[in-house]
Amino acid sequence: MALIQTRLPLFSDAFYSFTTSLEEDTYTISILYVKRINDWVISIKDAARNTLVEGQRFTPDTPLFADCQLPGLSGFFWLTTKSGEDPSKFEDRRRNLPEYFNFYYIYEDGE
């Protein structure tokens, strides 16, 4: 089995959504900066607009949803630092996700 890595977009906006195809299904991913917690949260909906995840903290260098399989998805999401540095050092830079981070969906191809 091979790991398939799909790069997903990041934007500097405080809130944005995009639609993407993951494992042959369509999903809407929303990312929101929450000033109160000084962090980003992620929400995911399927093609029928069913909420799979709502307001989960968007934690760098941690496999998101690896421990709980989301309906229709066998993999996990990964927000990783571009420089490989400790993300806790980026507290003042976290408002600019695309400058400091990459975002991926990773799953096994099943073959």
pLDDT band at 47 (very low <50, low <70, confident <90, very high): very high
SS3 state at 44: strand
> Above 80 in pLDDT, residue 74?
yes
Report how many domains make up the chain.
Answer: 1
Is the model's pLDDT at 10 over the cut of 70?
yes
Cα 51 to chain center, whole Å?
Answer: 15
Token pair in block for residue 45: 């909906």
Q: Are strands 25-34 and 51-57 parallel, antiparallel or unpaired?
A: unpaired
Rounded to an integer, the average pLDDT of 56-76 is 89
Residue 93: is its pLDDT beyond 60? Answer: no
Alpha carbon distance 63, 61 (integer Å): 7
Q: How far is CA 23 from the centre of its chain?
A: 15
| Strands of the sheet with 101-108, listed across from one edge | 3-8, 101-108, 76-81
DSSP state of 69: P
94 — pLDDT class (breaks 50, 70, 90): low
Q: Return d(Cα 15, Cα 80) in angstroms, integer.
A: 19
Query: What pLDDT does residue 89 have?
Result: 63
Range of the domain at 104: 3-108
Higher pLDDT, residue 105 or 98: 105
What is the spatial distance between Cα 41 and Cα 38, in angstroms, rounded to a whole number?
10
pLDDT exceeds 70 at position 84: no
More confident residue, 86 or 20: 20
